[in-house]
Amino acid sequence: MKKILIVEDKAMVYQPLARYFKKKNWEVKIVEDGKMALELLAKENPIKFNCMLLDLRMNQMDGDELLKELKLKKITPPRTILLSAYTDGLNMAELKSLGVIEILEKPCNPVIIEETAEKLRKMTSI
C-alpha cells in the first residue's frame, strides 16, 4: 500500500488532504508539527513512507528545522514535498540539500499534490 506522512499543524489543511489520499488508497499518517515528526521518524523507519507532505511554518518546529534535525541525526527523510504559503525568499538550494524534492505553494489542489506524491512514490523501491 502507498504510504504518506502529512506534517501540518492546521486541521483545515490536513483533514481534507487526508480524506483525499485515503479515497485514493493511500495509507495516511498525520503529525501536527515538526517535533512530533522528528520523534516518529526517529522511532520508525522513514523509508516506510513513500513521501512526506511537509508544511514550512508550524508552531513547535518548522519544516526546515525538522529537515535540519533529521540531517544532524543522520536520519534520511522520506521524499519530501514542501507545502507553504510563503514561497518568496525561500532558499531553494538549501531546502533541496535537506531532502525537499518539490515545493508547492498553498493553497494547492489535492490532485496536483497527489500527482507529485505519485511521482515521488514511483522514484522509491517500495
The CATH code of the domain that includes 35 is: 3.40.50.2300
For 10-108, where are the E strands, in sequence order?
Answer: 26-31, 51-55, 80-84, 100-105
Per-residue confidence (pLDDT) for residue 60, from 0 to 100? 86
Task: Tell me how long the chain is.
Answer: 126
Per-residue confidence (pLDDT) for residue 84, from 0 to 100? 84
**What DSSP designation does 25 have?**
T
- The Cα 74–Cα 102 span in angstroms is 21
Per-residue confidence (pLDDT) for residue 126, from 0 to 100? 42
Per-residue confidence of the chain (126 residues) as pLDDT tens digits? 889 999 999 999 999 999 999 998 999 999 999 999 999 999 988 888 989 999 999 888 999 999 999 999 999 999 999 988 877 777 888 888 998 988 888 887 878 888 888 887 777 544
Per-residue confidence (pLDDT) for residue 64, from 0 to 100? 92
Per-residue confidence (pLDDT) for residue 15, from 0 to 100? 93
Per the CB < 8 A criterion, the answer to whether 86 and 57 are in contact is yes
How far out from the chain centre does Cα 91 lie? 17
| Helix 110-123 × helix 11-23 angle, to 10° | 60
Q: How many domains does the chain have?
A: 1
Instruction: Name the residue range of residue 33's domain.
Output: 2-123
Per-residue confidence (pLDDT) for residue 1, from 0 to 100? 81
Q: What's the pTM?
A: 0.88
| Helix 63-72 × helix 34-43 angle, to 10° | 30
